[in-house]
Structure 1
Amino acid sequence: MPHDAAGLKRMAAKLLRAGVEQVGIERGDGPVVDTLMQAALVVFVIPPGQVKNLRSRYGSAGNKDDRFDAYVLADVVRTDVRRLRPMLYDSEQTTALRGSVRARRDLVTHRVAAANQLRAHLQIVFPAAATLFADIDSAITLTFLGRFTTQEAADWLSPKRLAVWLGSVSYSGGVDPAVLHARLLAAPRGVTGEYASLHAATTTALVAVLRTLTAQIQILAASIGEQLDAHPDAAIFTSLPRSGSVRAARLLAEIGDARGRFPTRDSLTCLAGVAPSTRQSGKVKTVTFRWGADKQLRDALCDFAGDSRRANPWAADLYAKATARGCDHPHAVRILARAWAHIIWRCWQDNVPYNPAAHGALQTLLNQDQPTAARPRG
């Protein structure tokens, strides 16, 4: 059946005529799921990894076949529906925010890759430009490369000429022009001669890509800020320490606004992959990293938790205790993220912003640092 509008409509009608009320599917988004939800069918999302494990229940070959997988999904919904949780949809407002947040993050990833590509290129053809300023993708670096594309062009510069040029582009990096010029002279020589212009074309192309990516990231960030301001749950996530605008929007988008999706705080921590996985066989018991998780949600939660320790004494103390026990940085951040997930879940369910004054563990820690008042003698 084709996945066009008519085909999806025929699919929904066929299911309804057959008396189907519940559907199992591997992917929880897309036109097929939208059509099923619009037809008032109960949708259960069974991830591909779980379907892979369920195949052995119906045969030992383990072959991947779409028709067989469809049978497995249908039979699991028929026999084990009590173990499944119906899919709950976030609002369209949250879904749109999620799309913007993920698109911005993808562009940031592309910008990092393009910056690395430019750096590798410059280290061969124009090494001085690769280390002249702090960041290869900063505005001043891209402006410099737009004006001085080759080693020969940069040879024209003297400390005085460089100072004049920096002033003309409103450089505010705080490094003395003489120091920058010394860096140009100290770096290995780049390519000169008739082939330098060919390498300059590559430099110009990479600079243009970085400029475009940076501009689009800024546009998306502005859109995300506007969407966040208009969202009814914005106050919950912007109240978190060092959440900012984009980070708060990312947390909101990945957690969503369908409260029934996470009926308990443990359901949130497990799906986010910040709760450990316990395995036991006989007398052997191991606690390991949880591989089965929503990676986007885990990354958003850990990104927030890792930075929160710089502004919240309770978070800093929890992180320090974890590292003192021998946990490496990613493990300690996951421990902190799990603790934050409990707090966020409570605020999210109660629809109230985070209030440090009502955070008991934080207040207990702060009060430990207060000197005990001496009793008056009576």
Structure 2
Amino acid sequence: MSSVVSPLTAGIDWSSTHHAIALLDEHGIEVQRLDVEHNAAGLRRLVHCLRQAKVTGVGIERGDGPLVEALLEAGLTVFVIAPNQVRNLRRRYGSAGNKDDAFDAYVLADTVRTDRARLRPLSPDSPATVTLRMTVRARKDLLAARIAMANQLRAHLEHVLPGTIGLFRDIDSAISLAFLTRFPTQDKVDWLSSRRLENWLRTQRYCNPRRADVLHAHLSTAARGCTGPEAEARAAVTAALVAGLTCLRQQVEVLDTDIAQQLERHPDAVVFTSLPKAGVLRAARLLAEMGDARGRFPTPESLTCLAGATPSTRQSGKVKVVAFRWAVDKQLRGAVMDFAGDSHHANAWAADLYARARGKGHSHSHATRILARAWLHVIWRCWHDGVAYDPSRHRALQSLTATAA
């Protein structure tokens, strides 16, 4: 008589150097424990073990990276369980709730065993989408670094050369950086006259060199900076910050071009570029964060919840509290709110919805979340069907237009 092998579930506690793995049987009893290194040999050993054990589901805390790619390529069903969920689930097995790699692997495996019906298998995005997401997020990080360095430069100039602050609109603009490269000290700024400044602006192809009188007056009336040997010494810091900002500007421009090319080749580009005020970069960010795995969002509600556009409702007895939703995909929420916050400037329906929310006393951010929730239902339908947003088929917009007429 042949024996029947019970189905096994696995949990993997991921780290950058090694992974702890626990395999459980259908009764929650740990039948095997592994610890593999995060390298090619370790991943091959892990996949071989899981396939040999005929594991029916794998729980893990993240949904990307070489480890997840290896699991999916092996045909294994992967369930992503967020770290904050794991932290709460630890209390199922004890009141301490302490962090331990092997124990977390057990918790992940047992959660897949007991809560599988409530978990959604990981649907991987296409390589094109993953690459676009990496590029978009890299650009976002570079912009954050550029803002931080611009603030550092501004704080430095307050002591060294105050007149350059506010001379042009942005401290990290190309014209500002060029000016600081040519005139990094108060002594060199003092050499300027309105005529000399105008001539220099023309060499830089400045849009309005005739403003030289206004700019020179700004430099003349500002507080004076350092002069002499002290100024020359501090100019080295100015040069270093200017060089850093120049490099960051160049790299952001490189990524802008790359993102535009990637978006143009992407099959879902038609959906997101058709949205009002989307543009190239905003459309690319929306596409990258939503992805192209339709199974990830089977309903528009699943999308609005993960994007943080739906409030969190808690009720106990007669007490009901509706609050801001914190447990969301912050990258997706940022992309959606950025789009929604500008869409009401180019779409009558969005403008009406935003205005009515503001009329009820809601703050700008609250009104934007309300608008984002409505937009996500529209975007989900276009994304699910793979068609461009068509204002003439948007019933709510057409009803509003007909009423206004």
TM-score by length of 1: 0.96
Give 1:98-177 correspondences, 5 Å limit. 98-173=133-208, 176-177=211-212
C-alpha distance in 2 between matches for 1:41 and 1:208: 49
Q: Is the 2:273–2:283 contact (alpha carbons within 8 Å) kept by the matching residues of 1?
A: yes
Which residue is 1:375 aligned to?
A: none
Listed one character per residue, the Cα deviations across residues 129-160 of structure 1 (whole Å, up to 9, x for unaligned) are 11211110111101100100001110000111
Which residue is 2:236 aligned to?
A: 201
The secondary structure found in structure 2 opposite 1:327 is coil
Give 1:223-372 correspondences, 5 Å limit. 223-370=258-405
> Which 5+ residue runs of structure 2 have no aligned equivalent?
1-35
The secondary structure found in structure 2 opposite 1:21 is strand
CA gap of 1:174–1:285, structure 2 versus 1, over 3 A, is: farther
* AA matched with 1:235: V
Q: Does 1:6 align with 2:37?
A: no
C-alpha distance in 1 between matches for 2:338 and 2:404: 28
Q: CA deviation at 1:19?
A: 2.0
The secondary structure found in structure 1 opposite 2:79 is strand
Q: CA deviation at 1:265?
A: 0.3
Which residue is 2:9 aligned to?
A: none
Structure with the higher fraction of residues in strand conformation:
2
> Please, which of 93, 100, 107 is the counterpart of residue 72 of structure 1?
107
Listed one character per residue, the Cα deviations across residues 10-56 of structure 1 (whole Å, up to 9, x for unaligned) are 01111122221210001111111111111111000000000011111
C-alpha distance in 2 between matches for 1:80 and 1:170: 64
Give 1:206-225 correspondences, 5 Å limit. 206-225=241-260
Most deviating of 293-302 and 13-22 = 13-22
Q: Is the 2:187–2:227 contact (alpha carbons within 8 Å) kept by the matching residues of 1?
A: yes
CA gap of 1:15–1:147, structure 2 versus 1, over 3 A, is: same
Q: CA deviation at 1:333?
A: 0.8
Residues paired across the two proteins, number: 370
C-alpha distance in 1 between matches for 2:385 and 2:106: 41
* AA matched with 1:35: A
- In angstroms, what is the RMSD of aligned CA positions? 0.9
Q: Does 1:26 align with 2:95?
A: no
> Which 5+ residue runs of structure 1 have no aligned equivalent?
371-378
Q: CA deviation at 1:204?
A: 0.5
Which residue is 2:21 aligned to?
A: none
Q: CA deviation at 1:173?
A: 4.3
Which residue is 1:42 aligned to?
A: 77
C-alpha distance in 1 between matches for 2:392 and 2:54: 54
Q: CA deviation at 1:295?
A: 0.3
Which residue is 2:16 aligned to?
A: none
Q: Is the 2:202–2:209 contact (alpha carbons within 8 Å) kept by the matching residues of 1?
A: no
Which residue is 2:131 aligned to?
A: 96
Q: CA deviation at 1:351?
A: 0.9
* AA matched with 2:267: P
* AA matched with 1:148: F
C-alpha distance in 1 between matches for 2:82 and 2:317: 29
What's the % identity of the aligned pairs? 61
C-alpha distance in 1 between matches for 2:255 and 2:210: 31
The secondary structure found in structure 1 opposite 2:321 is strand
C-alpha distance in 2 between matches for 1:71 and 1:210: 47
Q: CA deviation at 1:169?
A: 1.1
C-alpha distance in 1 between matches for 2:74 and 2:368: 42
Listed one character per residue, the Cα deviations across residues 251-275 of structure 1 (whole Å, up to 9, x for unaligned) are 0110011111100000000011111
* AA matched with 1:329: H
* AA matched with 1:266: E
Q: CA deviation at 1:175?
A: 6.0
Q: Is the 2:198–2:210 contact (alpha carbons within 8 Å) kept by the matching residues of 1?
A: no
